[in-house]
Amino acid sequence: MNAYPLTLFHDGACPVCRADIALMRARDSRRLLRFVDITDPGFDPAAHGLQLADFQARMHALRADGRMVEGVEVFRLAYRAIGLGRWIAPLTDGRLRPLAEAGYRLFARHRHRLGWLLGPL
């Protein structure tokens, strides 16, 4: 099954998310990633069989083979595409994955309030 190109559904209203997407865009030299801002007025979540609340609750991505993935798996595939897979692999493979998933769920719930971590942009 082929994951790429991988379409990432991101929250353009989230400062931390915007910073991560900017990093991915800058490093995506092979153009393996596509980006869809779920806050864009033209975004239609129903076209993907989900509701906007689903996309807001967790990061989602659509693989080239048509399979939707979410959470830490999105980051594993995206970071692999931009050459940073080895940095995230310890969190996404094996015993640490449940901890990474739990941490991501906590982050996702509070991501808008964590923009201060980036300092002034």
Over residues 18-45, the pLDDT tens digits come to 999 999 999 999 999 999 999 999 999 9
pLDDT of residue 113: 76
Q: Which of 78, 79, 75, 72 is nearest to 97 (CA)?
A: 72
pLDDT tens sequence across 47-102? 999 999 999 999 999 999 999 999 999 999 999 999 998 888 877 777 888 888 88
Phi/psi-derived region of residue 50, left when phi > 0, alpha when psi is between -120 and 50, beta in every other case:
beta
Q: What is the mean pLDDT of the chain?
A: 89
Helices and strands: H and E segment counts in the chain:
5, 4
Global confidence as pTM: 0.87
CA distance 73 to 76: 5
pLDDT of residue 116: 55
Given a contact cutoff of 8 angstroms between Cβ atoms, the answer to whether 78 and 69 are in contact is no
Q: Which residue's entry shows tokens 């190109």? A: 5
Measured CA to CA in angstroms, residue 83 lies from 13, 30, 71, 79, 87 at distances of: 26, 10, 19, 6, 9
Given a contact cutoff of 8 angstroms between Cβ atoms, the answer to whether 8 and 36 are in contact is yes
